[in-house]
Chain A
Amino acid sequence: MRFLPKSLVLVGALAAAGLAQAADIKIGVAAALTGGAAQYGVAIRNGFQLAADEINAKGGVNGNKIQLVVEDEQGKKEEGINVFKKLIFQDKVLMVFGPTLSNSMFAAGPVANGAKTVVFGTSVTANGITDIGPYVFRNSVMESDVLPVTVATATKHYKLKQVAVIYGNDDAFTKSGYDVFKKVLEDQKLPVTTTETYVKGDVDFKAQLTKIKASNPDAVICSCLAEEAANIMLQARGLGIKVPFIGGNGFNSPKLFEISKLAGEGTFVGSPWSNTNPAPANKAFVAAYVKKYNAEPNQFAAQAFDALHVAAAALQEVKLSGDIAADREALKNALPKATINGATGPFKFRPAVTKSGKPGGWDADQKPFIYVVKGGKFTAFDGK
């Protein structure tokens, strides 16, 4: 009996060696798992984990299993850089997904680009991200792709003649959303009656809303995060503003209706993902996500899920040589050609248009879904 533990150790070691050999595509995931952006980061990690499990259960990519190396970047720029460096230089991953926030990407992206390693953002919508360099990819659909469609659809549906605008002017996300709205309204020649602002943490919007009411708009455009948007809707109805709202990406949260109840009826929102999209790929994703995590998926999980499938599609075309620098380069060259039909619909890349004119990275080329809110739920808008 004395040799038994030893042989068990041997078997264990062999099994471990076998596992290590099968798990041979290391992919880094940097997500904000703690801190202010954790609500997005955790959903993103779940999306990646789900996709990796699914790919590995089907035998991996060309027989190679995908091994995710997940690190917490806390939504801070220095942490983002540290995590990227650890993943790229120490763990020697083939490519990096993340980080969660655009700010962190501006700091960490150049690190990956300088190290000639593909960095793939799933939730970084800010302008200029793909200006960083040719190794930068994202499947996050930018506001500048979504909002023109949202505004045009709402204008047609409600026959809008003039709109009011409200936005948070101290937050990178809501401010850049506003900049896009402003340009879209100019392009579509929709006059603005008044533009109101608030700062993060405000709970009382009556002063701004009273001004909006007096300016008599046909709709209120709102570049706000979900919590503030819900309060704005509730208080607008309280003041007797009956016109519909038009929202940006910040509206894409179930929280919006938890707080605002039925105040948001008729709101138009554009989103890269729809939980009611009946496409089989999306139905399978939603079912698998609910089964594994016992929670409803959101847009961030869906985009992360799709991102790994995009990478897997590209990896299928790459012959891995074992030389990490050559493999990273091969992946960078294969990735732009990858297309999938995933949870967020048909996906392909398009080359980014950079400010400097130098070749940049790759943006998502995807059509947004337009929703209208009915009965406290997002309902796909069918154009009638």
Chain B
Amino acid sequence: MEWFNDFWSTYSTLVFSVGVHALLALSIWLTLSCGLLSLANAAFMGVGAYVSALLTLHLEWSFGSVLLAGGIAPTLVALIIGAPVLRLSGVYLAMATLAFGEVVRITVLNLEITGGPEGLNGIPLATEGWHIALILAVTVYGLARLRRSKVGRAFEAIKEDEVAARLMGINVDRYKLLAFSLGAFIAGVAGALNAHFTFFISPREYGFENAVDILTMAVLGGTSSLIGPMLGSSILTLLPELLRSLQDFRSLVNGAVLVLVVLFLPKGLWESRRIRAFFKRLKGGQA
């Protein structure tokens, strides 16, 4: 038990980060599953983090309502910008959502209430392990159900061929907006959770670099199933910590691992078809 206490006091933040990053990777998986390359999730995370932190600091709302508000605020933003932005596709959508991220960052930089470039500090510790575990479990369950539902099938149809989906009577624009704003909700909640265990937030945490990080997590893990993004985010969060003993070579090895994965497993680590084939071969070998 003492061993566990030592472990937990040392690595609890790391475990929290794994959970929050898993939520972020799932949020971008949702838009990717609808064929949208959106890079706005870091900005949505930032909106959620700032809204929730300000509510905690100034209005002292309870943590539950703060989390809900942290999710709803970016969803509203997503609904507003979604209508015009989602007319774009491919790299043009990526560019527009990146630009949106910059707008959010610069707004936060220049507002008085957000503390400008100095950020917000003194956010009380409110996130506990079970909060993250519960929210992650609910999200995974919800997304798994969603995939098998009419909505999930519609997402898949849009991803495979937008014109064909439209001809089959799927309201493409509405489903795209749904994926976009649901993704914003998850990212916002993740941001709110993150803000309440790191004591401090600043605009630089929600910029371009983080948008790319979130995308990398999902793509590294593989976007064909829900396991992929969670696997990818766990690896990207834990790897630097596991490599700590390598000291100066840490970043080098970290980068090398990523390059090798992309070179040899271009569809991500967890590709359902490949894994199934692997197990079939294993069974065949035994027989």
Contact = CB atoms under 8 A, between A and B. Distances in A.
> Is this pair of chains taken from one and the same complex?
yes
A167 to B, nearest CB: 11
Contact of A107 (B10, B117, B200): B200
B199 A106 contact: yes
Contacts of B9: 85, 89, 115
For the residues of A in contact with B, the DSSP-based class is helix
Contact of A89 (B6, B116, B244): B6
* Interface range, A side: 20 to 34
Contact of A128 (B121, B241, B244): B121
A175 B116 contact: yes
Contact of A106 (B125, B200, B250, B251): B200
Contact of B200 (A90, A103, A176): A103
B14 interface: yes
Nearest to A108: B199
B273 to A, nearest CB: 35
A170 B241 CA distance: 30
Interface string B7-20: 00111111001000
* Interface range, B side: 20 to 34
Contacts of A131: 122
Given A72-B250, A78-B198, A107-B200, A175 B11 contact: no
A93 interface: no
A190 to B, nearest CB: 24
A140 to B, nearest CB: 16
A81 interface: yes
A82 B6 contact: no
Interface in A84-117: 85-86, 89-90, 103, 106-107, 109-111, 115
A170 B17 CA distance: 27
A29 interface: no
Contacts of B248: 33
B127 to A, nearest CB: 12
Nearest to B106: A170
Nearest to A76: B205
B109 A72 contact: no
B14 A82 contact: yes
Contact of A172 (B12, B17, B110, B117): B117
Interface of A: 33-34, 71-72, 77-79, 81-82, 85-86, 89-90, 103, 106-107, 109-111, 115, 126, 128, 131-132, 169-172, 175-176
